Amino acid sequence: MTDATASAPPRHRSQRQEVWRQFRSHKGAMAGLVIFVVILLGVTIGPWLWGLDATLVDIRSRNLGPSLAHPFGTDQLGRDLLARILSGGRVSLAVGLTAMLLSLALGTFVGVVAGFFERLDGALMRLTDLFLALPLLPLLLVMVMLFREPLSRSFGPENGIFLLMVTAIGLTSWMNTARIVRGDVLAIKNREFIMAAKSIGTEPSAMIRRHILPNVLSPILVSATLGIATAIITESSLSFLGLGFPPDFPTWGRLLYDAVDQIQLFPIRVILPGVAIALTVLSVNYIGDGLRDAMDLRARKR
Does position 45 interact with another protein (CB under 8 A)? The reply is no
What does 126-160 look like in DSSP terms, one character per residue? HHHHHHHTS-HHHHHHHHHHHHHHHHHHHH-HHHH
Does position 301 interact with another protein (CB under 8 A)? The reply is no
DSSP 8-state class, residue 78: -
How many CA atoms, within 13 angstroms, populate the side-chain half-sphere of residue 23? 21
Q: Out of 223, 285, 290, 294, which residue is the one contacting another protein (CB under 8 A)?
A: 285
- Distance CA(126)–CA(122), nearest Å, equals 6
Residue 259, phi then psi, degrees to nearest 5: -90, -15
- Distance CA(58)–CA(74), nearest Å, equals 9
- Distance CA(159)–CA(225), nearest Å, equals 25
Q: How far is the CB of 207 from another protein (least distance, A)?
A: 33
> 142 vs 187, which CB is nearer to another protein?
142
Binding window for another protein (CB under 8 A); candidates: 97-105, 144-152, 203-211, 293-301 = 144-152
> 64 vs 241, which CB is nearer to another protein?
241
> 110 vs 112, which CB is nearer to another protein?
110
Return the residues of window 223-282 that contact another protein according to CB under 8 A. 229, 233, 236-237, 240-243, 253, 256, 260, 263-264, 267, 270-271, 274, 277-278, 281-282
Does position 142 interact with another protein (CB under 8 A)? The reply is yes
- Find all residues with CB under 8 Å of 190, minimum gap 6, and list them: none
- Distance CA(240)–CA(82), nearest Å, equals 19
Q: Out of 10, 51, 138, 214, which residue is the one contacting another protein (CB under 8 A)?
A: 138
Q: How far is the CB of 227 from another protein (least distance, A)?
A: 14
> 87 vs 239, which CB is nearer to another protein?
239
What are the angstrom distances between the C-alpha of 260 and each of 76, 155, 256, 257? Answer: 12, 30, 6, 5
Which residues lie near another protein (CB under 8 A)?
Answer: 129-130, 133-139, 141-143, 145-146, 149-150, 229, 233, 236-237, 240-243, 253, 256, 260, 263-264, 267, 270-271, 274, 277-278, 281-282, 285-286
